[in-house]
Amino acid sequence: MKALVKKPKVERLYQVLLAPVVSEKATFVADKHEQVIFRVTPDATKPEVKAAVELLFKVEVDSVQMVNQKGKVKKFGRTTGRRNHVKKAYVNLKPGQEINFQAEAN
């Protein structure tokens, strides 16, 4: 028996992606593996991220890998604090697909 898969609502898809990760590692991964890294909401799922990227950027997504990055413990004088936890999505694009953030901003 097949499990029923709910389609996420469009309003939810616009809230799933928070920001692209722009770093040296992200650029290296994009060039070598045709992947793009996004910060996503902590409760985001792989199907939601896939649907959101396909909706917003008009590209075809092959697969999605998720990473939970724990916040670093930092000292502020005598007191210790913690940075926020971050959830990232490594989005694998199909061959020939690419996302150009500079063109999207204009």
Q: List, for residues 35-73, the tens digit of each pLDDT value.
A: 999 999 999 999 999 999 999 999 999 999 999 999 999
Full-model pTM: 0.82
Distances in Å between the Cα of 50 and the Cα atoms of 82, 84, 86, 91 are 30, 24, 18, 8
d(Cα 88, Cα 18) in Å, to the nearest integer?
10
Q: Quick check: 101 pLDDT over 80? A: no
Q: What is the pLDDT of residue 105?
A: 56
Q: What is the pLDDT of residue 106?
A: 57
d(Cα 96, Cα 59) in Å, to the nearest integer?
10
Q: What is the pLDDT of residue 61?
A: 93
d(Cα 21, Cα 29) in Å, to the nearest integer?
11
Domains assigned to the chain:
10-95 (3.30.70.330)
Is the Cβ–Cβ distance between 38 and 21 less than 8 Å?
yes
